[in-house]
Structure 1
Amino acid sequence: MKLVGMLDSPFVRRVAISMAVLGIPFEHRSLSVFRTFDEFAKLNPIVKAPTLIEDDGTVLIESTLILDHLDHKVPPDARLMPQRGAERTRALQLVGYALAAAEKTVQIVYERELRPQEKQHEPWLVRLQGQLAAAYDLLEKQIGSADGWLVGNRMMQPDITVAVAWRFTQYILPGMIDPARYPALAAFSARAEALPEFVNAPLE
């Protein structure tokens, strides 16, 4: 099984960390959708990260779909998403907010780095920054003063995705989201990033 994509993508990184937590072995192909576009295209002509290639050659894309597929390779009590009830609803809510934060971060970076400066649209950037802050405001309230995991008594997908999204924003947009405004998120992410599964999947 191969996971293709750079770990500086929060979507690739959440899959890599999840596979480690699930105990699913894989080969990581660290290919960029920019710098190694042609090489990536040989594996997946859509050139989308993450790409998961199963041993039988099946290609899957989109991190949430890949993670759902991987969850069903392990027993139900080992899965990273709750299967039913209020816990599943809370997990979906947290993952959704975190993915929104990651997506808005990516959009800001693309607007700043890929679009010529004279064509950048300041009102659009302001809107994106507001959406990014709103996502983290909601996550901060959800985490509160909890010193355990976000859903249940073990690390699950909401924990992984929230921590990965927060670290990504701090790494790629330093200073935009002040950690002092989000002490619960900052503390939670720091605790997660100290775990071996996170340490072994560093931002590149």
Structure 2
Amino acid sequence: MQLIGMMDSPYVRRVAISLHVLGLPFEHRSVSVFSGYDTFARINPVVKAPTLIDDDGTLLVDSTLILDYLDRKVPAERRLMPEENQERVFALRVNGFALAAMEKTVQQVYERQLRPAERQHEPWFERVSAQMHAAYAVLDELVAGRQGWLCAGRITQADITAAVAWRFTQYILPGVAEAARYPALAALSGRAEQWPEFVATPLE
């Protein structure tokens, strides 16, 4: 199994960490969608990270779809999305807001770092920034009061995705989302980055 993409993408990193947690062996190929565009295009013509190639040649894109596919490779009790409905709904809520925070973080980076200064649109930047903070506010409320794992009494996709999202924003937009503003989420991320699966998958 091969995972294609850079670990500075939160979408690639959440899949890599999940593979470690699930105990599924894989080869990571660190190919950039920017500097390695032509190389990536030969692997996947859409040039979308993450790309997963299974041992039978199955090629998948989109981190959430890849993770659903991987969950079906292990017994139900080991899956990263809980089976019990109430816990599953909670994990879906966490994942949804964490993915929104990732998306709005990426949009800010693209606006400031990739778009020429004369074409940047400040109202748009302010809007996506506000959306990112709104997502983190909801996440912090969801995480607050929960010690250890967020649901199901074990590590789930909720823990992974929330922690990866927060760390990504801290890495790519330092100082924009302050820990004091979202203390529960910051604490979860701090704990998660000490877990072996996160240590084995550094953001780089």
Report the Cα distance in structure 2 between the residues aligned to 1:145 and 1:92, rounded to whole angstroms: 18
Aligned residue in 2 for 1:32: 32
| TM-score normalised to structure 1 length | 0.99
1:61-140 equivalences in 2 (<5 Å): 61-140=61-140
Report the Cα distance in structure 1 between the residues aligned to 2:83 and 2:45, rounded to whole angstroms: 33
Instruction: Give the aligned residue type for 2:110.
Output: Y
Instruction: Give the aligned residue type for 1:25.
Output: P
Aligned residue in 2 for 1:14: 14
Aligned residue in 1 for 2:51: 51
How many residues align structurally?
A: 204
Report the Cα distance in structure 1 between the residues aligned to 2:54 and 2:144, rounded to whole angstroms: 39
Give CA-to-partner distance per residue, 1:110-156, whole Å, 9 cap, x none: 01111000110000000001000000000111111221211111110
Aligned residue in 1 for 2:141: 141
Report the Cα distance in structure 1 between the residues aligned to 2:132 and 2:9, rounded to whole angstroms: 17
| TM-score normalised to structure 2 length | 0.99
Give CA-to-partner distance per residue, 1:63-115, whole Å, 9 cap, x none: 00000000000000000001241111111010000000000000110011110
- Partner SS, residue 24 of structure 1: coil
1:185-200 equivalences in 2 (<5 Å): 185-200=185-200
Q: Which runs of 4+ in 1 moved over 6 A?
A: none
RMSD: 0.7
Instruction: Give the aligned residue type for 1:5.
Output: G
Gaps of 5+ in 2: none
Instruction: Give the aligned residue type for 1:128.
Output: V
Gaps of 5+ in 1: none
Aligned residue in 2 for 1:152: 152
- Partner SS, residue 28 of structure 1: strand
- Partner SS, residue 52 of structure 2: strand
Report the Cα distance in structure 2 between the residues aligned to 1:200 and 1:15, rounded to whole angstroms: 13
- Partner SS, residue 180 of structure 1: coil
Instruction: Give the aligned residue type for 1:68.
Output: D
Worse-matched range after superposition: 152-161 or 140-149: 140-149
User: What's the offset of the Cα at 1:57?
Assistant: 1.3
Instruction: Give the aligned residue type for 1:57.
Output: G
User: What's the offset of the Cα at 1:39?
Assistant: 0.6
Report the Cα distance in structure 2 between the residues aligned to 1:70 and 1:123, rounded to whole angstroms: 39
Q: Percent identity?
A: 64
User: What's the offset of the Cα at 1:26?
Assistant: 0.2
Report the Cα distance in structure 2 between the residues aligned to 1:117 and 1:201, rounded to whole angstroms: 34
